[in-house]
């Protein structure tokens, strides 16, 4: 059953349009990863879904309810089922509250403080593998890893149906990254959670997501199951991204696609296929705007997809 | 840069317009008939009627405002009820003395403040640095008019090193007369600027681009004087711009204590004689001076720091 | 074998902090030959930046040199005077820093800064301006003439990093130190910068000390690799030895944890449990033993020395000692 | 799932930190020598203001012409003024006026400035522009000039001074509160609260305000001396509290008139102002370091 379905979502700030019609869906219990570099609009997208950023056009259906344009008051009941995890682990914790207070903040906001909040706090700390005496600490006394776990505990306090995670492993060393991803995987299986993760790090996507989409300049350019996209990527940009993360192996063969030039600015978007200016395979036809072409679940927006 | 200057001056004009209108309405909103208050015991009905007409007080408020602004545009700030002389002339006659006092106090205090601040930043946490910090804090704490009174008592009355009254004729005599009041007003400013320069210099010296400059072997002098000062000086310029308002206030006291002519003394005297047009004129000119100085300091800042050009 | 360009021998640096003496670097030893690219791999808190500041002698006031020497072109940098060091900085040794947005003066134009760093050459201003234009086009920045008149905040991260490279290579240094130059950039930009560095290295033949926590980049770019953990060198060897025949548990775990290394989709990702030990407390035994799954009794008591295991490969771990080659 | 090493069950005490936080701050201030001096001076000042009526050796308004213009003696610690009134008693009573003006004016301005500043910083753009214009306009009047104009219109009194001082300091707090709110508005913890559906009041009251009140309270501690000086200044110009209520400013006014006869009135009127302002400034300085260590590096 489809939990979240986003169709033709458009956002713009003043004259710069950031998202130019994004469509995808996340099924129940599925983890969907959105991969894109800085300036691809992925943070704007996830914040639009969480109701923190305005979206001018398109629709965001959550279990059939339209969320786009809802006032804060009407949106509040849905906030129980959708929770957002932020990129900066310490920065997303209100500095003057203790960890115990932070974790039980969702209960207070949703007016569910008739229960014993202390025991809830201990339960949640337990769930993310933090000692109970952590509840008395303030955010500035936490390490990156610990703050990240408090963020997870807070996000899962009301057992949401959909967890939105903005760069969950940003700023973590490789050795600590694994710990957090394992925690997310365990909790997903325990609570039957659906997750939408956005990141620029392709390596972690392969181990966490069921389906994934590649974003470029506010548009999805390729989408499919993670295995499909990794082994048979079709869009030149995806292929460049995949080849761009060097393997820790000195003899790895280097059939790499190097993109020349910088991504065009959102102010003056190229006409037709917006990747045309950097694509090594660009042809005349690319001056037109490519539409989706789909082969059994694997979509790509390119006139001459790579084999 | 040019567009920024124009927009900043337009904002300054808007602020001045709103301030003057507020001032104008405030005077009109006061209960009681200003004319009767002004004339006091000499209020005969005919005198009252002619004065009301002269000041246009019988017109509706917004009409009065129109008249006021149209006259103000031609530099006419109304007429002094008692002496019949134009307010603009009176105020402009006193303005130079106040400006002389303010610039004298800014120059010595900003100079000393920057030197103290830069020295303290150059060798942090040394004995000198802590001493400068202590002195700056105590200077800031000393209110200008108390220092004025005490310095008058000690240096003028007791020791007679400095004249206690007047402005003096000729360059050196004027300097001799302005020295004590300028010292009194500027003193708290030395501490204020010293601390600001030290704090902002230390902060800039800690930034990454300074480390890059050092990694390229630039001389320490060049790094401090060009690479660090260009950024560290920005908050100081803003404070000096805003500071004009504080100095104007302090100048009022210094002019009274040292019996110097100037805007401050003019306002005090015209208040005791209830001479509203002159009060209005003097306050208007000093507000204009303050709004202009904040605008200039923002413009100088924008010229030195290209990033702030987009801020308007 | 000619003498190495840079030889770091037993360098030990402490920081005296409120909580006591922090042993930031302990017995660091490795060398860089002329024209060679040596990589330093280490996660946060391993002492990479302290090492760079020590080489450049730009240590903060609370840093205290304990022992060790750094020989660069036959001169010990630690005992050199500030004047001698300043002569070398930007001429013989230049640096590229991590965050391009922070490492250039925000209120001075790029052109002015590029001319300023040529302060040693006596050629006229116009010539220096021309050299700046040349260098910018060499790193692939179009219409350099107008670009020089702009300020850093008018450039993207990628562009600023290319400018930083141009500035660093302008004086044809003998040693270029690159402190995580691509960490703040996106992957596609990272590979482009790496490729450009490789080409410039071939063209100019300067040695490069490349610091990163990204194993893939090190594997692709460097000839020899130093692995650092919490302030000490745990392994040092050719890139093939390090990646295919790691002789220290930390290096092995580091390679295993790199998601790029894991071919198939893993249900549970490998991790290194625990955290970096507090370097202010007295440290005895091997620094990694708390988190090491293969630690033996001796690890707790004695600090393993950096021992050569042949074929240009050294490691500091007691496990290697009983199979030491004859 | 829980971490084996620290498995001991401890009662999570969501203890109320607030009063312990206050004690911590006072403790922190007392440790610093500057802070200690400040604390003592402010303590004496408040003590005099509160118990002035009881600790005054003579009747501050009681005149005895025969003892006029005496220097300091055992009976009149700081001598007498031209009407033979005891300067020392008038000085003690003067501290009452100073406090009566400073506290309501400063804390009133702080809270109004805080609310307006937060509204400007968090509200829609047009409201921000409007409030900023209001702040800039009020601020554009040089404080004393504005005070003189108002006093000229409504006549001198304690209420006028409090109104004038409060009006001119609201923009100072307003602007600082606005910039702090603007900086925090897009910070991730505020977005996190919004993403959980927190109401506007909860965001401003519980999450935004505690992070701003620290900076503002330091500003207030540093602003009290300026307010005391302003009140004394206005009384010195004869536009402050109406005689005979004793104020430090009126002491100086008499002193100025008799500067050639006796220096004691100026010394007696001037020194308490300087000492009181030193005390508050030292207190404000160390309060800044204790409340917000981040600010320390910019000291």
pLDDT digits (tens, 9 = 90+) for B82-131: 777 888 888 888 899 999 999 999 899 988 988 888 888 888 888 888 88
Chain A, window 161-200: residues with a beta carbon less than 8 angstroms from a chain C beta carbon: 173-179, 181-182, 185, 200
> Nearest-CA residue of chain D relative to B188?
D226
Token pair, residue A1, equals 């059953």
Alpha carbon distance C251, B10 (integer Å): 64
Residue C166 is inside which H or E element, if any?
A: helix C157-169
Residues of A with CB under 8 A from a CB of D: 47, 50-52, 72, 75-76, 79, 83-84, 86-88, 91-98, 100-101, 105-106, 109-110, 117-118, 121-122, 126-127, 129-133, 135-136, 154, 186
The domain spans of chain A are: 2-81+160-220
Chain C, window 102-121: residues with a beta carbon less than 8 angstroms from a chain B beta carbon: 102-108, 116-117, 119-120
Q: Does C278 touch chain B (CB under 8 A)?
A: no
Highest mean pLDDT pick, A292-296, B283-287, C80-84, D285-289: C80-84
| pLDDT at D1 > cutoff 60 | no
Angle at C217 between CA C212 and CA C221, to 5 degrees: 105
Mutate which of D94, D141, D143, D254 to test chain B, going by most B C-beta atoms within 10 A? D141
Alpha helices in D186-260 (DSSP H): 188-195, 200-202, 209-236, 248-257
**Does C257 sit within 8 Å of A178, measured CB to CB?**
yes
Residues of D with CB under 8 A from a CB of A: 1-3, 6-7, 9-10, 12-15, 17, 187-189, 191-199, 202, 206-207, 210-211
**Does B212 sit within 8 Å of C97, measured CB to CB?**
yes
Q: Looking at CA atoms only, how far is residue A173 from chain D in angstroms?
A: 20
**Does B202 sit within 8 Å of D274, measured CB to CB?**
no
Alpha carbon distance A219, A167 (integer Å): 19
Q: Which domain holds residue D156?
A: 31-298
The domain spans of chain C are: 99-173
What φ, ψ does residue C309 adopt, rounded to 5°?
-110, 25
Provide the mean pLDDT of chain B. Answer: 84
ipTM of the complex: 0.79
**Does B209 sit within 8 Å of C106, measured CB to CB?**
yes
**Does B216 sit within 8 Å of C90, measured CB to CB?**
yes
Total number of domains constituting chain D:
1
Stated pTM of the model = 0.81
Q: Looking at CA atoms only, how far is residue C85 from chain A in angstroms?
A: 34
User: Do C and B touch (≥3 CB pairs < 8 Å)?
Assistant: yes
| pLDDT at A40 > cutoff 80 | yes
A293-295 vs A298-300, strand pairing mode: antiparallel
The DSSP code for A93 is S
Taking alpha carbons only, the member of A298, A221, A224, A230 closest to residue A263 is A221
Token pair, residue A84, equals 């957002």
Q: Does B221 touch chain C (CB under 8 A)?
A: no
- Per-residue pLDDT tens for A205-253? 888 899 999 999 888 999 999 988 988 888 888 988 888 877 777 777 6
Left if phi > 0, otherwise alpha if psi is -120 to 50, otherwise beta: which for B168?
left
Left if phi > 0, otherwise alpha if psi is -120 to 50, otherwise beta: which for A300?
beta
Alpha carbon distance B110, B125 (integer Å): 23
> Residue B1: helix, strand or coil by DSSP?
coil
* Inter-residue contact A206 to A225 (CB < 8 Å): no
For range D64-85, the mean pLDDT:
79
* Inter-residue contact D124 to D182 (CB < 8 Å): no
Task: Give pLDDT < 50 ranges for chain C.
Answer: 324-326
* Inter-residue contact D38 to B141 (CB < 8 Å): no
**Does A262 sit within 8 Å of C158, measured CB to CB?**
yes
**Does C267 sit within 8 Å of A241, measured CB to CB?**
no
What residues of A are in contact with residue C255 (Cβ under 8 Å)? 248
| pLDDT at D299 > cutoff 50 | no
**Residue D36 domain-assigned?**
yes
Question: What pLDDT does residue D19 have?
Answer: 61
What residues of B are in contact with residue D152 (Cβ under 8 Å)? 271, 274, 276, 279
The set of chains that have 3 or more CB pairs under 8 A with D is A, B
Question: What pLDDT does residue C163 have?
Answer: 92
High-pLDDT (> 90) share of chain B, % = 8
Alpha carbon distance B260, D258 (integer Å): 18
Q: Does C195 touch chain A (CB under 8 A)?
A: yes
Q: Looking at CA atoms only, how far is residue B11 from chain C in angstroms?
A: 25
Count of CA atoms in the C-beta half-sphere (13 A) of D177: 32
* Inter-residue contact D147 to D234 (CB < 8 Å): yes
Higher-pLDDT residue of D6 and B250 is B250
Q: Looking at CA atoms only, how far is residue D104 from chain A in angstroms?
A: 28
For range A189-203, the mean pLDDT:
89
What residues of A are in contact with residue C156 (Cβ under 8 Å)? 262
> Nearest-CA residue of chain D relative to A97?
D207
C175-179 vs C93-96, strand pairing mode: parallel
Question: What pLDDT does residue A283 have?
Answer: 85
Mutate which of A130, A215, A248 to test chain C, going by most C C-beta atoms within 10 A? A248
Mutate which of B204, B249, B312 to test chain D, going by most D C-beta atoms within 10 A? B249
CATH code of the domain in which D105 resides: 1.10.3720.10
Which pLDDT band, with edges at 50, 70 and 90, does A118 fall under?
Answer: confident
A211-216 vs A16-27, strand pairing mode: unpaired
Chain A, window 254-283: residues with a beta carbon less than 8 angstroms from a chain C beta carbon: 254, 256, 258-260, 262
**Residue D8 domain-assigned?**
no
At the second CATH level, the architecture of A2-81+160-220 is: 3-Layer(aba) Sandwich (3.40)
Which pLDDT band, with edges at 50, 70 and 90, does D137 fall under?
Answer: confident
Alpha carbon distance C186, A37 (integer Å): 6
Mutate which of C62, C83, C103, C179 to test chain B, going by most B C-beta atoms within 10 A? C103
B86-91: long-range contacts at Cβ-Cβ below 8 A with a sequence spacing of 24 or more?
Answer: B87/B277, B87/B278, B87/B280, B87/B281, B88/B281, B90/B266, B90/B278, B90/B281, B91/B263, B91/B266, B91/B278, B91/B281, B91/B282, B91/B285
Alpha carbon distance B27, B25 (integer Å): 5
Taking alpha carbons only, the member of C156, C219, C151, C218 closest to residue C186 is C156
Token pair, residue A149, equals 């776990």
Q: Looking at CA atoms only, how far is residue B27 from chain D in angstroms?
A: 7
Residue C76 is inside which H or E element, if any?
A: strand C75-76
Contact partners, residue C108, CB within 8 Å, separation at least 6: B226, B227, B230, C151
**Residue D19 domain-assigned?**
no
Helix axes D209-236, D264-291, angle to 10 degrees: 170
Taking alpha carbons only, the member of B191, B125, B198 closest to residue D281 is B191
- Per-residue pLDDT tens for D45-63? 888 888 888 888 777 777 7
Q: Looking at CA atoms only, how far is residue B277 from chain C in angstroms?
A: 47
For range B33-59, the mean pLDDT:
70
């Amino acid at each position: 059953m489809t939990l979240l379905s986003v169709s033709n979502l458009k956002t713009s700030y003043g004259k710069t349009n950031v998202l130019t019609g994004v469509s995808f869906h996340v099924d129940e219990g599925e983890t969907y990863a959105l991969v894109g570099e800085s300036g691809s609009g992925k943070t704007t997208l996830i914040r639009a879904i969480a109701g923190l950023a305005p979206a001018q056009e398109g629709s965001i259906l959550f279990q059939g309810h339209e969320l786009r344009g809802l006032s804060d008051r009407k949106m509040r009941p849905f906030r129980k089922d959708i929770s957002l995890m932020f990129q900066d682990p310490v920065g997303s914790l209100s500095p003057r509250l203790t960890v115990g207070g932070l974790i039980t903040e969702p209960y207070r906001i949703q007016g569910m403080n008739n229960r014993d909040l202390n025991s809830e706090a201990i339960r949640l700390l337990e769930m993310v593998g933090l000692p109970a005496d952590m509840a008395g600490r303030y955010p500035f006394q936490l390490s990156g890893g610990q703050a990240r776990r408090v963020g997870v505990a807070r996000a899962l306090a009301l057992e949401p149906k959909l967890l939105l995670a903005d760069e969950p492993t940003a700023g973590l060393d490789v050795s600590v990254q694994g710990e957090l991803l394992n925690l997310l995987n365990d909790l997903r299986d325990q609570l039957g959670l659906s997750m939408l993760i956005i990141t620029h790090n392709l390596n972690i996507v392969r181990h966490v997501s069921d389906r994934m989409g590649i974003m470029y300049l506010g548009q999805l350019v390729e989408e499919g199951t993670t295995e499909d996209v990794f082994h048979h990527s079709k869009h030149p940009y995806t292929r460049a991204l995949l080849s761009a993360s060097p393997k820790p192996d000195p003899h790895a063969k280097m059939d790499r696609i190097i993109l020349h030039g910088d991504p065009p600015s959102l102010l003056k978007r190229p006409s037709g296929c917006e990747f045309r200016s950097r694509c090594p395979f660009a042809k005349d036809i690319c001056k037109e705007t490519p539409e989706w072409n789909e082969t059994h679940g694997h979509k790509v927006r390119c006139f001459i997809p790579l084999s | 840069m040019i567009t920024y200057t124009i927009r900043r001056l337009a904002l300054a004009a808007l602020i001045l317009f709103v301030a003057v209108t507020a001032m104008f309405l405030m005077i009109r909103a006061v209960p009681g008939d200003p004319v009767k208050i002004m004339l006091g015991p000499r209020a005969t009905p005919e005198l009252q009627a002619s004065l009301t007409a002269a000041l246009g007080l019988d017109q509706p408020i917004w009409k009065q405002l129109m008249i006021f602004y149209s006259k103000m545009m031609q530099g006419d700030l109304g007429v002094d009820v008692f002496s019949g002389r134009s307010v603009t002339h009176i105020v402009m006659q006193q303005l130079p003395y106040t400006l002389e006092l303010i610039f004298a106090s800014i120059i010595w205090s900003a100079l000393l403040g920057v030197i103290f601040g830069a020295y303290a930043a150059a060798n942090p946490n040394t004995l000198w640095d802590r001493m400068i910090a202590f002195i700056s804090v105590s200077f800031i704490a000393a209110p200008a008019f108390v220092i004025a009174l005490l310095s008058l008592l000690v240096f003028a009355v007791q020791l007679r090193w400095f004249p206690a009254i007047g402005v003096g004729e000729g360059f050196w005599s004027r300097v001799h007369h302005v020295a004590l009041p300028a010292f009194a007003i500027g003193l708290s400013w030395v501490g204020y600027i010293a601390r600001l320069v030290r704090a902002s210099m230390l902060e800039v010296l800690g930034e990454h681009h300074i480390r890059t400059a050092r990694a390229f072997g630039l001389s320490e002098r060049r790094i401090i004087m060009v690479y660090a000062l260009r950024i560290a000086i920005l908050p100081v310029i803003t404070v000096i711009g805003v500071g004009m308002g504080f100095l104007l206030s302090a100048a009022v006291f210094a002019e009274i204590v040292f019996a110097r002519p100037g805007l401050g003394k003019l306002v005090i005297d015209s208040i005791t004689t209830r001479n509203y047009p002159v009060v209005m004129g003097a306050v208007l000119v000093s507000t204009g001076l303050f709004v202009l100085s904040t605008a200039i300091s923002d413009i100088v800042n924008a010229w030195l720091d290209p990033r702030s050009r987009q801020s308007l | 074998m000619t003498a190495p360009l840079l030889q770091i021998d037993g360098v030990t640096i402490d920081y005296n902090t409120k909580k006591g003496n922090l042993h930031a670097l302990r017995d660091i030893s490795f060398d860089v030959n002329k024209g060679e690219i040596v990589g330093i791999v280490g996660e946060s808190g391993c002492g990479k930046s302290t090492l760079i500041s020590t080489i450049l002698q730009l240590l903060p006031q609370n840093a205290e040199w304990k022992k060790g020497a750094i020989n660069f072109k036959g001169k010990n940098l630690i005992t050199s005077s500030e004047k001698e060091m300043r002569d070398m900085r930007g001429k013989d040794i230049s640096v590229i820093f991590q965050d391009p947005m922070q490492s250039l003066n925000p209120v001075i134009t790029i052109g002015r800064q590029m001319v300023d760093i040529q302060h040693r050459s006596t050629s006229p201003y116009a010539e220096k301006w021309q050299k700046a234009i040349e260098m910018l086009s060499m790193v692939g920045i179009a219409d350099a003439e107008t670009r020089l008149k702009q300020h850093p905040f008018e450039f993207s991260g990628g562009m600023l990093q290319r400018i930083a490279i141009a500035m660093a290579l302008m004086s044809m240094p003998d040693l270029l130190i690159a402190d995580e130059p691509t960490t703040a950039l996106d992957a596609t930009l990272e590979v482009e910068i790496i490729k450009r560095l490789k080409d410039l290295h071939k063209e100019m033949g300067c040695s490069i000390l490349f610091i990163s926590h990204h194993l893939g980049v090190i594997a692709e770019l460097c000839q020899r690799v130093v692995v650092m953990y919490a302030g000490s060198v745990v392994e040092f060897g050719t890139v093939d030895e390090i990646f295919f025949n790691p002789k220290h548990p930390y290096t092995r775990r580091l390679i295993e944890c790199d998601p790029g290394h894991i071919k198939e989709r893993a249900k549970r990702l490998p991790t290194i449990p625990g955290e970096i030990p507090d370097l202010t407390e007295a440290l005895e035994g091997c620094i990694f033993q708390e988190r090491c799954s293969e630690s033996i009794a001796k690890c707790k008591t004695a600090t393993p020395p950096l021992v050569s295991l042949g074929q240009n490969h050294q490691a500091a771990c007691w496990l290697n000692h009983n199979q030491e080659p004859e | 799932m829980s971490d084996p090493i620290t498995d001991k069950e401890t009662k999570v005490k969501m203890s109320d930190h607030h009063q312990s936080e206050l004690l911590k701050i006072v403790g922190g201030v007392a440790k610093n020598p500057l802070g200690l001096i400040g604390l003592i001076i402010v303590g004496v000042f408040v003590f005099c203001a509160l118990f002035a009526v009881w600790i005054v050796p003579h009747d501050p308004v009681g005149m005895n012409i025969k003892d006029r213009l005496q220097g300091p003696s055992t009976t009149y610690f700081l001598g007498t003024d031209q009407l033979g009134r005891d300067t020392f008693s008038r000085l003690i009573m003067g501290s009452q006026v100073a406090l009566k003006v400073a506290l309501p004016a400063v804390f009133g301005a702080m809270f109004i400035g805080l609310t307006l500043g937060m509204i400007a910083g968090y509200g829609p753009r047009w409201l921000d522009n409007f409030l900023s214009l209001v702040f800039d306009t009020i601020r554009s009047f040089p404080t004393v000039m504005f005070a003189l104009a108002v006093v000229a219109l409504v006549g001198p009194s304690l209420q006028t001074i409090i109104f004038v001082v409060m009006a001119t300091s609201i923009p100072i707090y307003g602007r600082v509160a606005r910039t702090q709110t603007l900086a925090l508005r897009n910070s991730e913890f505020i977005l996190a609260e919004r993403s959980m559906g927190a109401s506007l009041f909860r965001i401003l009251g519980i999450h935004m305000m505690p992070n701003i009140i620290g900076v503002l309270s330091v500003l207030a501690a540093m602003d009290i001396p300026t307010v005391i000086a302003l009140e004394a200044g206005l009384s010195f110009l004869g536009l402050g509290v109406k005689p005979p209520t004793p104020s430090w400013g009126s002491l100086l006014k008499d002193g100025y008139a008799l500067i050639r006869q006796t220096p004691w009135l100026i010394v007696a009127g001037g020194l308490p102002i300087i000492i009181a302002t030193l005390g508050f400034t030292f207190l404000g300085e160390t309060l800044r370091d204790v409340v917000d260590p981040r600010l320390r590096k910019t000291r």
